[in-house]
Structure 1
Amino acid sequence: MTGLPPAAAAIAADALLVLHVGIVAFVVLGAVAIPIGAWRGWRWIRRFRWRLAHVLLMGFIAAQAWLGALCPLTIWEQALRRRAGQPVYAESFIEHWLSRLIFFQAPWWAFVAAYTVFAGLVVLAWVKVPPKRR
């Protein structure tokens, strides 16, 4: 990354941001799709690999929040933005963009609590709507 030209670093940072948004969408929309899919009889919401990726990803997110760590994608994106000479933000990806979306600042513990509750809901969905192996 140190030898990356600033223009390439900016493109890479934007690509990471798109990936990050995709992961957030996967976790949030996946959590919404599971109970709806169980109710509607969608078989894909019970696919084991998909569900395992979903629950492990949410567990990782909650664990890093409890440890007070920023997401590795956030750290990497910010390093690329610095390399590109672009401004960076100090808080987590979710805290930064969510606070701008709803115009509200919250202490870090509020995000830890939210991630923990959300992780609990994902685990509850695992139990109530269990995935099936082939």
Structure 2
Amino acid sequence: MEFEALYSLFADAILVTHVAFAIFLVLGLILVFVGKFQSWQWVRNPWFRVAHLSGIGVVVLQAWFGVICPLTIWEMDLRAKAGETVYDGSFIVHWLHELLYYQAPAWVFAICYTVFAGLVLASWFLVRPRAFSAGSERGAS
């Protein structure tokens, strides 16, 4: 019985991580464009920008190849081991349905992710990230 509670706790932690990742992608893009107009230099950080572009790139590839996110699979496996109810399909499809009562075929989400990724890619040209520096900025005079 103790393992079920632990499995449930781990599943919840994965869900929180998944939600944080989705927020990072959406809010990250918004902040890049707001940061351009507010002259926030941190939105030009190349590490942030590469992480952001890579993150949405993985989401788009998974959507186009019909791969369910590993976080969703891991969460559902842990929920099943905890004796909890699991859902079918992807994380986004499930929670959009739960939160917005919205259903659409998987290809609609793939197109939405692709359009969003196009906006992230466009942000690289509209809000240029700084170049990666060869040395540490702290050591520079």
Task: Output the TM-score relative to the length of structure 1.
Answer: 0.94
**How far apart, in 2, do the equivalents of 1:43 and 1:24 lie?**
23
State the secondary structure of the residue aligned to 2:30.
helix
Counterparts of residues 9-20 of structure 1 (less than 5 Å): 9-20=7-18
**Residue 71 of structure 1: how far off its partner (Å):** 0.6
TM-score (norm 2): 0.89
Give unpaired runs (5+ residues) of structure 1: none
Deviating more after overlay: 121-130 vs 54-63: 121-130
Once superposed, what is the RMSD of the aligned Cα atoms? 1.1
1:66 aligns with 2:61: no
Identity rate of aligned residues, in percent?
46
Q: Could you say which residue in structure 2 is the equivalent of 1:131?
A: 129
Shift of 1:114: 0.5
| 1:82-132 deviations in Å (ceiling 9; x for gaps) | 110111111111111112221111111110110111111111111211110
Alpha-carbon separation, structure 1, partners of 2:64 and 2:13:
27
Q: Which runs of 5+ in 2 are unaligned?
A: 134-141
Partner of 1:31 in structure 2?
A: 29
Which of the two has higher C-alpha Rg?
2
- Give distance in 1, aligned partners of 2:10 and 2:41: 36
Paired residue type of 2:81: R
4+ residue runs of structure 1 moved beyond 3 angstroms? none
Measured in 2, the distance between the counterparts of 1:126 and 1:101 equals 32
Q: How many residues align?
A: 131
Distance in 1 (alpha carbons) for counterparts of 2:11 and 2:119: 31
State how far apart, in whole Å, the 1-side matches of 2:115 and 2:96 are.
Answer: 17
Give the match for residue 120 of structure 2.
Answer: 122
Q: Deviations over 1:44-69 (max 9, x none)?
A: 10101011000000000000000000
Q: Report the Cα distance in structure 1 between the residues aligned to 2:66 and 2:129, rounded to whole angstroms.
A: 31
Partner of 1:88: 86
Aligned partner of 1:99 among 89, 97, 100: 97
> What is the distance in 2 between the residues matched to 1:115 and 1:19?
19
